[in-house]
Chains A and B, each alone.
Chain A
Amino acid sequence: MAADRFPSPFDIETPPGAEGWESMYDWYHLFGPERRELDEGRFWFADRLHHPDVLHPYDEIQCECWWQALGAFNTRIFAMPPSFGVDQRIVNGRLYVTPVAAPAEQIAARAEEFGRRAGHYYERWDAIYAEWKEKVTAKLEEIRGLRFDPLPELEPESTVYEHVGHSAGFRMIRDFDRLVLTMYETYQYHFELLNIGYAAYLTFFAMCRQAFPDISDQSISRMVGGLRVELYRPDDELKRLAKEAQRLGLAGRLGGTEDAATLFAALRSDTAGAEWVADWERTADPWFLINTDPGHPGGYHTYPTWADEPEIPLASVREYLRRLEAGESIDRPTDEVLSERDRITAGYRELLADEERATFDETLALARQVFAYIEEHVLYIEHWMWATFWAKSKELSRALAAMGEFDEPEDMFFLRRYEVAEAIYDCVAGWSVGSRPRGADHWRPIITRRREIYEALRAWEPPPALGPPPTQIDEPFTVMLWGITTSTVSEWLRADGDAGTLRGTAGSPGVVEGPVRVVTHPSELTEVQPGEVLVCPATSPSWAPVFARVAATISDVGGIMSHTAIVCREYGMPSVVGTGNAVATLRTGQRVRVDGSEGVVTVLAPADAEPDGAGRSGSP
């Protein structure tokens, strides 16, 4: 790799066996000769925060949702002064992105527009957010209400007697459109508040840094955070279930290792056990509607939710119960975090000039308001909406497979959304006519080939970035969301640098040493031992219980506002985020020092034996 630039996207070779991968994705998502001049001059980085792995063709929907919605809100609706949207391209199945800056000469005019438009939202933030929750909850109910069943041999009598006037086949076509459009609509709402929220949050950061050049990001975050936001509710529910189990005298019976189905069946045999299982089931909707992706939650259809795999939340409940039985406290020290927040805030505020304290107060108040949204929207959109969207997509895939359109349900996810619409039409036409769709015979060779391509693409190690890096990365969202800074990029360019040291963003302060545990899939979380250093692509709220066990966390992606950094600060545990390649570099069992204040990971000793579970996991 040249020292001053990353490979051109037009020089990236197709991995052996992946020839023809382009057919898996929409043409407008690919690098093409028409845009070569534009695209070769841009700096693209791999969006491992949201999409750390190869995209299934169907899952391209996830990228499209935010590609368009983020762009429209920044560029066209709020006129974010320095930033247009974030452009996307897919290369070898991986998503690369580049933030598009607003032309310098437009910034002043855009700032004026932004002041009026975003100002309207800031003034009414809490009321608008309350409306927002209603809008999104209504959309959630809408897609929960969709049903995809195999089409009936004969329509029910109600179709006739209630004068429905259309067929189940038509409704399958219509409801797939509704499913996709509703998800797209919700993603509009996602960005309705997100980036103007971040802008206010960033402003408080900038203000603190200007007054106190030495202040750490963690101190600023602590002044804003510590709120009891709904994002922590799922984990709190697990703790509550653990306490309930203890109260009901079930600790011994939950202490085993049997799977959830066996355990629940056994518990149902008496009153106390049945009461607890009923509590679990009530809690599961909606609080276990939690995605377990190691990156951005809900980014892929392949990861189960807690509700899909009750072993995941059950393992957490068992861990909490074990700690309760050992006399430990499992509550997050919320009151301490809040009083520490107030103490820190008062301390810095006191050091400001008198005439600036009012601005500080006002900006902090706004930052705290928007912060609740920044954290909570993840629950509404990334978890509830996406989990439901994927569940409904799977329901559709089962219906189509049952009708012979596919050999197996998973086949559907190897088709782009437009192709799925085609498949539905083919299936519905055959059903309607009483004839034979082209169906699985048509798709079989296409899907077989794409499965091969998919595997070949997974073996490819994507470069962290493409094209010429800018001399300075100061686009605020890139820095804060992706944790990518000028020095990160220099580090990437020095890929052959010191193998004993990894650098990232200082996510949560403190220094600890411990053995590495590489985790790339939530199913591996049960292997984590107390005192280990968790190394992962990224974390999501569904991983929360593991934070009670580990000594430190290192992530490949994320900035100071990533889930990993936020949670580690809450737990008072060091973390280094956005290292880029910790998962690929570190091995389970290696001893490392994690300096969360400096953002540095140092390898102290190699793993003794062959690594177990090191590197990329085989399971998607």
Chain B
Amino acid sequence: MFYLSRIEHTLRVPPSLLNLPILDAIKGELEKLFIDKVVANLGLCISVYDIRSVDGGFIFPSDGAATYKVVFTLIVFRPFTGEVIIGKVQESNENGLRISLGFFEDIYVPVELMPSGSEFTPDENNGGRRRWVWIYNEVPFDIYESDEIKFKIHSIEYPAILVEQPKESNSKFPMEEKPKESINVKPFAPMVITASLDQDGLGPVSWWDGSGEAEDEVEEDS
């Protein structure tokens, strides 16, 4: 799920940071640049692990800042295909589920990767709000929002940045408005994970822990 990645970068350290020890200044600048951002084909940068080397310190003409060549190691979040992870259901709609890990929220389970025999049906106990139900041997298993859920990584994509943004998402806070607006208008996500629930042992954690019935069924299956 997490990896170390070695990166070389030509870093501009503004003169306002000259009063700091050089490694602290560089680390701060690296954190500003990389942390909580996605690098395509590398993953989501979590933390600066260490700084391997600092070279140079050249001041370009007509620029007041020193420019260093820095080699450093980052901790990145990049799950591998087939990895099993636990997250929380954040949203469910007719296109499937959206799962959040707290620090990363662009994990989608499309309809075709839901457990086979799943239906998106109204919930009588919850005022007719629809939710996903897996029907196994005519026994319904519900997936509620905010359930702890186990999923398997199916694929990871790094979509290219859109040249023209869709008009609706130009508003100032696209994330907050999203649930109210039409669901088609999603904010741009630089890393999208497609997950699968279609295997025994996957799905909400409560389906599989302890209670004997569900487990027995699976053992017969496998």
Task: Answer yes or no: are A and B bound together in one complex.
Answer: no
Residues of chain B touching chain A, judged by Cβ–Cβ distance below 8 Å, are none
